[in-house]
Structure 1
């Protein structure tokens, strides 16, 4: 089995998109805490091949560009959760259902979700602590603030 990957440059840093023939499997900032963990899990499932072009990666790259320009509020790229526990996958599905600009508390979804292999697409940046303050974000609070600001979000300082 083969998975294909390509690096995508965003205003918040370099990301790696991993796909199979049909869906996006992973989208992670290359400097996030769980990047290597996700990469290792994907490598155990398939041979990872770097490519210069792929229809699904092209689609997510265009959607990300539109998102960062404020013109994409819903990602349409098909995703598949191939890593993570069943609980984590349930949490990611719940987070993916959040509308653009919506925010919830960790207690609403879960106290912590652990690894998120689809940054931005599965919008864990929209999750706040119970007191409305910013909580942990695997890819860094500076990115969480940027994404929430882009979406018109508010939080307690």
Structure 2
């Protein structure tokens, strides 16, 4: 069953020039457009719909963000949702490639799909995801790391050194830790499965308590609500 928290309309500064689109129930949305006073980066989309929704979960309230390409962001409450929204909009404006006009997705539908699958996963009823992902917020080496992490199966753990080697830079272990901390799609891109070579947990963007919960969930030991 979908659990969705209604939000107040997202406020955008006039400087950001992000006009509001009509709001759908349970989500906030905006259309990202190029600034008028300066040339935009080469990879910026002419217009990009971005919608947000919140949902309560065993890990606290989660923020979901989606575009016409798919799920683009999941954030924990400790990250500060207002900060996450502002950064997400700015980064998409800077890096987003043009939308494939022939096959755009409905961001509102993506949010429903994402919340259902993630909440099912956290309830112990799902092991994999079938979500369309917008990978715009993963750039360069970080993207290589995130793609490597996606190869780690449910219930499996791998080291930061393993991820560095799979990402093509075996000596960049510290950079892998940074990439994990900047993973825009935690839970779905399972950076919680990456630990230190000695078996200790390392770090996690949502905090080590959440990492312990996710690892215990995959071992069948997580508490049930």
Give the TM-score, by structure 1 length. 0.84
Pick aligned residue for 2:145 from 91, 95, 100: 91
Q: Which runs of 5+ in 1 are unaligned?
A: 47-52
The answer for the alignment partner of 1:62 in structure 2 is 116
Aligned partners of 2:116, 2:85: CA distance in 1, in Å?
23
Q: Which runs of 5+ in 2 are unaligned?
A: 1-47, 94-106, 165-172
Q: Secondary structure at the match of 2:61?
A: strand
1:20 aligns with 2:87: no
How many residues were matched structurally? 147
1:30 aligns with 2:84: no
Aligned partners of 1:137, 1:35: CA distance in 2, in Å?
20
The answer for the alignment partner of 1:109 in structure 2 is 163
Aligned partners of 1:99, 1:34: CA distance in 2, in Å?
29
Per the TM alignment, residue 30 of structure 1 is displaced from its structure 2 partner at its CA by: 2.3
Per the TM alignment, residue 6 of structure 1 is displaced from its structure 2 partner at its CA by: 0.6
The answer for the alignment partner of 1:49 in structure 2 is none
Aligned partners of 2:155, 2:113: CA distance in 1, in Å?
22
Deviations 1:88-112 (A, max 9, x none): 1111111112111111011111321
Greater share of strand residues, 1 or 2? 1
Q: Which has the larger radius of gyration?
A: 2
Larger mean CA deviation between 90-99 and 118-127 belongs to 90-99
The answer for the alignment partner of 2:185 in structure 1 is 118
Q: Secondary structure at the match of 1:6?
A: strand
Structure 1 residues 35 and 108, CA, compared in 2 at 3 Å: closer, same or farther? farther
Pick aligned residue for 1:41 from 87, 91, 97: 87
Structure 1 residues 35 and 135, CA, compared in 2 at 3 Å: closer, same or farther? farther
The answer for the alignment partner of 2:49 in structure 1 is 2
1:81 aligns with 2:135: yes
Deviations 1:3-48 (A, max 9, x none): 1111121111111111012300011112138983x534321235xx
Structure 1 residues 40 and 143, CA, compared in 2 at 3 Å: closer, same or farther? same
Aligned partners of 1:153, 1:90: CA distance in 2, in Å?
30
The answer for the alignment partner of 2:104 in structure 1 is none
Give the TM-score, by structure 2 length. 0.60
